[in-house]
Chains A and B, each alone.
Chain A
């Protein structure tokens, strides 16, 4: 009999809490016609649509990896894993002995073995967890993955087409025609193609990973594809959750400074100038060093290495959040200063509307574009920063899956003969796709939401 219990980590609570609050915010904001229009304009761009879908895939994987549960089997073996581990369970178990190249059938390095005749021989040993039987064909597997993904995406796209044509109250045939010709306001054709492409890629990776190590294995024989997938959670969490810590601070302090002026303004300005004048990496490094000492002196805070890594990740997110709110705070202060002199705010003050109501009704909606731009801009920087921090030794726990740790462990492998390039390559590619998508998307968000860009676009 299998016992099943959810065992969420601290960061799991945080990310799901954040998703829930964003969803709530989304529902609130949907009521506003103007905001809905702005979002439409963001997604009018094909690039923005594609990058948003890629970002969604990353987020989805991170979320799947944030549902942790444990199962106790009949043999009293307790397994602690996430949904993602379950999906790729064949990779988690499929440990080899050491390095092997992508798609290889033997190990990367030769080892000394005694053959049947009793002679010592230098051989590349065959890998354990791949299919070596004769009826295995890579092309056949690829084709089946392709077919499966096509059929599945066909269903999803068909259903979506039907739904959109209902919404637009347009006959299905006409709507289909418009989509195919790319004449719809939102680039649905591009979206469907991207969906199909991503689904095919995912299915292919999943099918192939049963038979070969698609991205090879690393020094201790773990599958690199699995490592890279597991790293997604760390990267996305650092990028997203830091926002959660930073936003309330920046919003509260920035708006108070701009609205109350006087000594409040002076104090808040002093705080952020001081924090800002400490070089970012050094402040983070100093804080993380201190955190390490605290953690090593409180072994009772965590029961397992996983818990320890998780608490460390949470601390890192807090540290990153506490050191990165100053930029946004300064922008918000300036904007609030400007807004507090605007006629409708003066009028509201004259009518005796309370400060909180003014903030809620007039200030917050009018600084939201700044907040949004800052959040999407910061995301890519934080993902990149994780790698650098882990390299410096002040990033996430060394036992945690992360691109920074992968790079850190693999960087000396380039010096080997022949080169072991796949670990590094995979980490960089996974990071590059995420950061590129985030950069492209944030460019579009900035172009649409930043009022300064409006005139620029007209003249160009």
Chain B
């Protein structure tokens, strides 16, 4: 098992290098430090000295990959790529435009993001599966058709609508919960209820459809027929057998998402004023702070790859048919 995990981790390295190169290409080659300086300093005052000064202050006054002026190994070391991009690998994200340490900000903002993302994820998963099983139980009936119609409708409405409608109904008109904000500890619950509910609801349409088709695929298999033949009730068949066997495909879709929960939700957090990583990213995009965006892109990729590896590991753990050497 350990060698398998190590092997998977080693495979992840080239992909991360690829991600690193893509972000480097985007932020330093497609759009050179000179361009950045010009757009940051404004169009009017772009003398060559000012650009040079800005680049020196940022540490951007180096060649991309190969520095001829330096001796020995520093030829490779003292370059933009190594200094600015490669350090992302040890999670050294550098400074934001306002001088704050990005790594410290990220650590601090992870908790609020998770406070929203984890409940949304768990409650959403349970509701989706419960609804889907219920509909599979009544498959072919009017209830089935009606739910599928509602599911398509839910899917077709923009997520922004749910947020705005939810805020207006529950906060503005009925005053059940505060419109937005965040507090530490248990006080945060009243701020969390609405975003979590909206998140769960917005995902309901696609979720029900996905799990329904998954269970329907399962229900035509032989073991279900056997279970029915030995006289089990439909409910026992569904919850005892179909759900258990359906867990494996569910696992693939679910485990990969778990690490990315850290990233938070961009829109949800900015609408509800939650100081998490999502709103951090949005603020950075609006302020055109390339350092933060670069860090978040890299972090997101790392977490996604971790999710992929976790998926594979959980597969080998739950499904004895999967061989470790694969």
Chain A residues in contact with chain B, CB under 8 A? Answer: 270-271, 273-275, 277-279, 281-283, 285-287, 289-290, 292-294, 296-297, 380, 384, 387-388, 391-394, 407, 411, 414-415, 419, 424, 428, 431-432, 435-436, 439-440, 443, 456, 459-460
- Interface pair B288/A297, CB less than 8 Å apart: no
- Between A and B, 29 residue pairs with Cβ closer than 8 Å are A270-B14, A270-B15, A274-B15, A277-B305, A279-B304, A282-B281, A282-B296, A283-B297, A285-B281, A285-B285, A289-B288, A290-B26, A292-B39, A293-B288, A294-B30, A296-B43, A297-B35, A387-B158, A388-B266, A391-B267, A428-B161, A431-B158, A432-B157, A435-B157, A436-B156, A439-B152, A439-B156, A440-B152, A456-B220
Determine if A282 and B156 form an interchain contact, defined as CB atoms under 8 angstroms apart: no
In the complex, are the beta carbons of B164 and A424 less than 8 A apart? yes
Secondary structure type dominating chain A contacts:
helix
Interface residues of B in 220-265 (CB under 8 A from A): 220, 260, 263
Given the interface contacts A296-B43, A456-B216, does A392 sit within 8 Å of B285 by beta carbon? yes
Report the nearest B residue to A459, measured CB to CB: B220
Given that A277-B301, A428-B161 are known contacts, is A285 also in contact with B293, CB under 8 Å in the complex? yes
Are B293 and A436 interface neighbours, CB within 8 A? no
When the two chains form the complex, which single residue of A279, A388, A391, A393 contacts B297, counting CB atoms closer than 8 Å?
Answer: A279
A297 & B23 in contact (Cβ 8 Å cutoff): no
Residue of A nearest to B216 (CB): A456
- In the complex, A435 Cα to B31 Cα: how many Å? 35
Please tell me if B167 contacts chain A, counting CB pairs below 8 Å: yes
Cβ of B190 within 8 Å of any chain A Cβ, yes or no, is no
Q: Which of A289, A432, A443 contacts B293 (CB 8 A)?
A: A289
| Complexed CA–CA distance, A148 and B304 (Å) | 58
A277 pairs with B267, CB closer than 8 A: no
- Known interface pairs A279-B263, A285-B293; A414-B167 also in contact (CB < 8 Å): yes
**16 new A-B pairs (CB below 8 Å) besides A279-B297, A282-B300, A297-B39?**
A270-B15, A278-B19, A285-B285, A290-B26, A293-B39, A296-B39, A296-B43, A380-B156, A387-B160, A388-B159, A388-B267, A391-B267, A407-B158, A411-B164, A414-B164, A414-B172
Q: Is the CB of A289 within 8 A of B285?
A: yes
Smallest CB-CB separation from B217: which chain A residue?
Answer: A456
- For B307, the closest partner residue in chain A by CB is A277
**Contacts from B to A (Cβ < 8 Å):** 14-15, 18-19, 22-23, 26-27, 30-31, 35-36, 38-39, 43, 139-140, 152-153, 155-161, 164, 167-168, 172, 216-217, 220, 260, 263, 266-267, 281-282, 285-286, 288, 290, 293-294, 296-297, 300-301, 304-305, 308
Question: Given A384-B158, A436-B156: A282 and B19 within 8 A (CB)?
Answer: no
Please name all residues of chain A whose beta carbon is closer than 8 Å to the beta carbon of B155 when the two chains form the complex.
Answer: 435, 439
How far apart are the CA atoms of A189 and B301 in the complex, in Å? 52
Residue of A274, A286, A387 near B294 (CB, 8 A) is: A286
* Pairwise interchain contact A277-B304, C-beta atoms closer than 8 A: yes
- Who on chain A is nearest to B148 by CB? A443
Known: A424-B164, A459-B220. A393 touches B285 (CB 8 A): yes
A286 contact set on B, CB distance < 8 A: 23, 26-27, 293-294, 297
Cβ A274 vs Cβ B19 within 8 A: yes
Is B159 within 8 A of A419, CB to CB?
Answer: no
- Interchain CB contact under 8 A, B263 and A432: no
Contact of A270 among B18, B167, B296, B300 (CB under 8 A): B18
Asked if residues A278 and B300 are in contact (CB atoms below 8 Å), the reply is: yes
* Contact of B152 with A392 in the complex, beta carbons under 8 Å: no
Q: Is the CB–CB distance between A275 and B22 below 8 Å?
A: yes
* Chain B residue at minimal CB-CB distance from A404: B160
Q: In the bound complex, what is the Cα–Cα distance between A137 and B15 (angstroms)?
A: 68
Contacts of B156 in A (CB 8 A): 380, 432, 435-436, 439
Q: Assess A407 versus B160: contact at CB under 8 Å? Given A279-B263, A289-B293, A456-B216.
A: yes
Partner of A384, one of B30, B159, B168, B281: B159
- Please tell me if the beta carbons of A460 and B168 are within 8 angstroms of each other in the complex: no
* Interface-central residue, B22, B26, B158, B285, by most chain A CB under 10 Å: B158
Q: Are A460 and B297 in contact (CB under 8 A)?
A: no
B300: A residues at CB distance < 8 A:
278-279, 282
CA A315 – CA B137 in complex, angstroms?
48
A153–B296 CA distance with the chains assembled, in angstroms: 55
* A282-B296, A286-B26, A391-B267 known; A292+B160 contact, CB < 8 A: no
Chain A residues with Cβ below 8 Å from B304 are 277-279
Nearest A residue (CB) for B303: A279
With both beta carbons as reference points, the residue of chain A lying nearest to B161 in the complex is identified as A428
Q: Which of A282, A283, A384 has the most CB of B within 10 A?
A: A282
User: Are B293 and A293 within 8 A (Cβ)?
Assistant: no
| A273, A296, A380: residue with the most chain B Cβ atoms closer than 10 Å | A273
